[in-house]
Structure 1
Amino acid sequence: MSSSFRTASPLLLAILSVLWVSPSLATQEVRVGAAHFPPYTVRPESGADTGLLPELVDALNALQTDYKFVLVPTSIPRRFGDFKQARVDMAIFENPDWGWKDIPHTNVDMGLEDAEIFVAQQEPDRQQNYFDDLKGKRLALFSGYHYEFANFNADPKFLAQNFNATLTYSHDSNLLMVLRGRADIALVTRSYLFDYLLRNEKVAGQLLVSQRTDQIYHHYALIRPQAPITGEAFGKLLQGLRDNGQMLKIFDPYKIAVVPVSAPGTASVPQVAK
């Protein structure tokens, strides 16, 4: 073996070592909170990778190598504490009005819109005006959701006392309550109802779906201040998925609208009394 080769070998090995290691060192893990919110996230605590959030995370990871997005199971009530205590870096399919106003974060407009709609049992004389007044009607609601008709107050006692509400953790259960006459109206995410009717075609004629919406879900990603990714960087990744058609491919089948976005990375900091 020549002396020049022996001299070059350590240098060559060092270069190859850097090239081999650097991609893994450059990849930063971003922990995404996954709370049961069908059809976006379905029972993440069970370990099943089902729902739109796992699809979105897979698309984000396939798009680039700077960040690795991983799902961390949480729950609707627990997600605030997990976010504040840095167990998760990001909450997706959120809205700043849903209990986040006092928690520092950065908003990223995802450019996605869904809706919360009213569903009742179909009866011969029942028309759309049935949904105009909720007083005296038994409501079936999803526990932990923030509804506009209740001024976004998700407290179970408040909803039960003021709106005769029964709260569950299942849209299916709420719709069954309506079909069996145990509730007058259920509030259901439009995307979930569309999926439910595809899976249960026989009951479509038994349900009256409101033209009235309780609220339009304009979805945001909320990023904690010390997260490994910035709002601007995440906004660019979402734009990449819009450009390559993945956003439309993932969300359009559920009738979730892909709409124009506002400027990414809007900071939201709680106001402190002086």
Structure 2
Amino acid sequence: MMSSPIRTASRLLLAALVALWVLPSQAAQLVRIGAAHFPPYTVRPESGADTGLLPQLVEALNALQNDYQFVLVPTSIPRRFGDFKQGRIDMAIFENPAWGWKDIPHIDVDMGLEDAEIFVAQRQREGHAVRQQDYFADLTGKRLALFSGYHYEFANFNAEAQYLAKNYNATLTYSHDSNLLMVLRGRADIALVTRSYLNDYFLRNLNVANELLVSERIDQIYHHYAILRPAAPISGEAFGKLLQGLRDNGQMLKIFEPYKIAVVPVPGS
């Protein structure tokens, strides 16, 4: 039995519509972003939980356009360099070129985001005078609580655990909460904490805010960059334009302002 011309035309039209619907999704380039535990930006990605600011940023990037599909690939602070060089990830984000990327071929994209690393101490030890800002002026002889794998400016960005333990009497953990508890319990004198994380910590622990002295001294300003492989599916210029799109539609402020992460102008944008 032969198909009627109308039925044939309907099938062709349906096939064309299906093709138009499928093509954009097939054409989307997959871009793999390394997700390393770096609270509040990324929180324990190896557990499979999409928590932190990076998943929010990825969701906003995917909602903005259809040319690229951004996905998270769990990694770690020490492992991310190897994953990047081996092509397991196309991009590392919330990075700085000074943090060990110098000898690795890469393209950096200014994200126009600024955070800071600050010093935190117990405001007053029992039986002692209340501490003042000058307590942070000299780290000599003080016990430091640091985040393992972080590059600190006071230590010339040397992140090796043995170096930090030997030269700065440092205990290294993978938890800002643990480091702050060490300070509160007198097991460490000073913890270094990301300012954005400390803001979140005080919101979750209102009772301890008055027990801690926060430094006016800043160890370093985190001026965040995205680090792309030269062979990444997206160019630095294209990614920069997507970030600008999120600035223009207000998503960057919506995601980062609640954590006191500054959205700052990008030169030449």
Normalised by the length of structure 2, the TM-score is 0.94
Which residue of structure 2 aligns with residue 113 of structure 1?
114
Tell me the distance in 2 between the aligned counterparts of 1:2 and 1:180: 83
Tell me the distance in 2 between the aligned counterparts of 1:17 and 1:192: 47
CA deviations 1:84-128 (Å, max 9, x no partner) are 001001001000000000111111100000000000000233110
Contact 1:108 1:220 in 2 (8 A): yes
Shift of 1:15: 2.8
CA deviations 1:230-270 (Å, max 9, x no partner) are 11111111111101100000000000000001347xxxxxx
Tell me the distance in 2 between the aligned counterparts of 1:166 and 1:43: 21
When the two chains are superposed, the root-mean-square deviation of aligned CA atoms in Å is: 1.5
Which residue of structure 1 aligns with residue 249 of structure 2?
244
The DSSP-based 3-state class of the residue aligned with 1:77 is coil
Which residue of structure 2 aligns with residue 27 of structure 1?
28
Tell me the distance in 2 between the aligned counterparts of 1:199 and 1:58: 25
Shift of 1:25: 1.6
Query: Are residues 1:153 and 2:153 paired?
Result: no
Deviates more, 1:217-226 or 1:14-23: 14-23
Change (3 A) 1:48 1:7: closer
CA deviations 1:179-224 (Å, max 9, x no partner) are 0000000000000000001100100110000000000000000110
Which residue of structure 1 aligns with residue 224 of structure 2?
219
CA deviations 1:108-165 (Å, max 9, x no partner) are 1000000000000002331101000000000000000000000000000000000000
Tell me the distance in 2 between the aligned counterparts of 1:187 and 1:87: 31
Contact 1:120 1:184 in 2 (8 A): yes
- Of 128, 139, 142 in structure 2, the residue corresponding to residue 137 of structure 1 is 142
Which residue of structure 1 aligns with residue 61 of structure 2?
60
The one-letter amino acid of 1:84's match is K
Unaligned runs of 5+ in 2: none
Query: Are residues 1:125 and 2:126 paired?
Result: no
Tell me the distance in 2 between the aligned counterparts of 1:20 and 1:199: 45
Query: Are residues 1:258 and 2:263 paired?
Result: yes
Tell me the distance in 2 between the aligned counterparts of 1:179 and 1:221: 35
Which residue of structure 1 aligns with residue 189 of structure 2?
184
The one-letter amino acid of 2:94's match is F
Deviates more, 1:17-26 or 1:134-143: 17-26
Shift of 1:82: 0.3
Tell me the distance in 2 between the aligned counterparts of 1:136 and 1:119: 16
Which residue of structure 1 aligns with residue 171 of structure 2?
166
Tell me the distance in 1 between the aligned counterparts of 2:267 and 2:149: 27
Unaligned runs of 5+ in 1: 265-274
Contact 1:141 1:166 in 2 (8 A): yes
**What percentage of residue pairs aligned between the two structures are identical?**
81
Which residue of structure 1 aligns with residue 211 of structure 2?
206
Which residue of structure 2 aligns with residue 268 of structure 1?
none
